[in-house]
Structure 1
Amino acid sequence: MTRKVTAHLFHSVNGVVESPNLWQFDAFGEEEGAMMGKVIGPVTDMVIGRKLWEEWKEYWPGHDDPFGAWINPVRKHVITSTLSGDLPWNSTVVDGDPVEYVRQLKETEGGDISVGGGIETVRSLFLAGVVDELTLTTHPVVTNEGRRLFDESVPLTRLVLVDATRTSAGNAILTYALRS
């Protein structure tokens, strides 16, 4: 049995994925919340970069809203070159090559695996082919600041559209896989 690995990012029309909390607030409604619940429901493990893990471990413990109730017990696998040993918050340091680690994690027992960020983590694991599906919720906004998931460092990469949904808030929820 191979576990499914997914990633989901909020995205501006011009490709910015950094700090969506600064621009998505007026285009996130019930449909987007329901979609998030459907996506994270089967997830039992999250692969996450150190910076985002450090931000979240300071904020989410003790929060019991729907995302907090989900993220707190999920097993977190932290990609880092600066942390070692035992980590709090149900977290483990990823030893060795992150791509190989996720490949091996896919072959273990459990539910789906989510790659939660940061940007470099999602990009590298998706382009390496270990992320089965990448979902981008494209918000109807253009922002002049922030990093993009696919910047000029990414070579020409062919994708296949797996699913597409338009919400009443004006978002396009697009799910992609690498073209084989």
Structure 2
Amino acid sequence: MYRFGTTAPAVSKGPPGAMFGVLKAPTVFTRPSAGDRILTTSSGGEAAYVAGARWIAPASVQFDEALSRAFDADPGRARLIGRGEVAKAQMVLRLEVRTFEAAYVNGPKAPPEIIVQVRGVISRTGDRALVGDQVFEAKVKAADNRVGPIVAAFDEANAKVIGDLVGWINAAGAGLPKE
């Protein structure tokens, strides 16, 4: 079993100011990549799972855990607020993981390219106005066509996307009205 989300994303330095709360809606994953199997695709449109290899938990769960750790470690102003927490959220974050796969773009024997693509949508809670809508993507070539290097590339690509997301959310908070 394998894990990703252990590589720490790059730390952002957002604009100074008061902290603001971000309520994260449930992350949406594509069905083929949401579970505990490692999805691969080929240039011919075929999809398969890596035989005998599984994530330690569903990819959707590990993604959310990595995102939470990134916000906890980031010195920026944004703080994730979980459902049921007693705190006011100024923004709502919706994430749609569109691509989370190992793509064999150079044939089945070559190391795959890991692609992580996430669409983020932020809106203000007060007036529900759209603050931002952006797609984040990372592509990382695995060092070898073995499970260990493939998982390491997933970890690197995921960390890049999450780091970009956290920085984007911190920057979006600069436009929030002072409360």
Which of the two has higher C-alpha Rg?
A: 2
* More strand per residue: 2
> Structure 2 length normalisation: TM-score?
0.25
Higher relative contact order (CA 8 A, sep 6+): 1
